[in-house]
Structure 1
Amino acid sequence: MTGDRGAAPVETRALREVCGRYPTGVAVVTCRGADGEGPVGVTVNSFTSVSLDPALVLFCMHRDSRALTAVEKAGAFAVNILAADQAALCRAFARRDTADFGGLPHGAGATGSPVLGDALAFLDCRLHTTFPGGDHTIVVGEVVDLGLLREEQPLTYFRSGHPRLEVLG
């Protein structure tokens, strides 16, 4: 470790490699599409709880993302926490083009945002605020509804893969 604050910026690939050593959960953020478009969804692993009172959560999304524009226009979104058996769903929503909701079981949450029927759990949120964060935007939502949909291990992300957690006792 160095304390040199005048150091050159880190390389993107190196940052990705180091941050890839930190295991995270995986979620799909969904919202209503604008102007008659179908629902929009995107995979995130940058989701976390912010506050219990008021109930706030956040995720980060690339500032040029079409899904970010949809979330801002809708003023609401749902965070669908994925289960260990949903790696294919994770990959479908990780593509640049939004995955097709056609055959995907989902319903409208309290805000009208799509809630994925097979998710592990969900949080339905009103858009609270956004903050710039480099090439991403930090999106904060106020939770207005939530639920546990099934009992299963969560989908994890570690070193570009989806290892299963070892469940103790």
Structure 2
Amino acid sequence: MTTTQPGIRHHRSEGPIDGKLLRTVCGLFVTGVTVITSGTGEQASGTTVNSFTSVSLDPSLVLFCLHKDSRMRQVVEETGAYAVNFLTGRQEQVAWAFAGRHTATLASVDHHLSATGVPVLSRAMAYLSCRLVNAFAGGDHTIFVGEVVELGVPCPDQDPLIFFRGSMGSLEEEQRGTHPIFDG
């Protein structure tokens, strides 16, 4: 049986699945919202992503994905390190500031340097500082795998910022309209 949006029940296709349909279905999976920071000096920057996951505890590996045309892809590759900053429910403005091609500068948010030399958002709920282990092509994205070399939980009593059905909000907040996250 094939149906179309918004009442998607089942969809079978002889060819590739439509990207918009896939985004709609994947939007039903609740994720956290992170800002990936990387680079040093004037090259230091950040971008908002929700494509983050842990991979392995031994060794401690995590991954995230960036669009192949992302302005941050080259920064992460050249720096060889990145930080994953888990945002609190009160940091939606920070998430929007780092979303898209033209984003906020790190000078506009409190930050400090991690063990890998990349910036960490000082008011994030938690962070992981990672050494880049590998990067893989994954369709129209690059998959970055990093080994965690430092971590911290500066704001442990905060609720996370979440992404669900195309919008961001805190766990206790009712989700608002749809605003896609752009991965820089």
Q: TM-score, normalised by structure 1?
A: 0.90
Quick check: 1:11 aligned with 2:18?
yes
Deviations 1:56-110 (A, max 9, x none): 0000100111101000000000000000001111111111123212231000000
- Aligned-pair Cα RMSD in Å: 1.8
Whole-Å separation in 2 of the counterparts to 1:161 and 1:66? 23
Report percent identity of matched pairs: 53
Q: Which residue of 1 aligns with 2:159?
A: 153
Counterpart amino acid of residue 135 in structure 1 = D
Which of the numbers 100, 107, 121 marks the counterpart of 2:105? 100
**Other structure's SS at 2:24 match:** helix
Q: Which runs of 5+ in 2 are unaligned?
A: 3-10, 173-184
What CA distance in whole angstroms lies between the structure 1 residues aligned with 2:121 and 2:148?
16
Tell me which of 53, 62, 67 is aligned to 1:62: 67
Give CA deviations for 1:106-163 in whole Å, capped at 9, x if unaligned. Answer: 0000001100011000000000001110000110000000010112000000011124
Residue matched to 1:90: 95
Contact map agreement 2:90 2:170 (CA 8 A) in 1: no
- The residue type equivalent to 1:16 in the other structure is R
Q: Is the 8 A contact 2:43 2:75 kept in 1?
A: no
Letter in 1 for 2:168: H
The total of aligned residue pairs comes to 163
| Superposition deviation, residue 7 in structure 1 | 1.3
TM-score (norm 2): 0.83
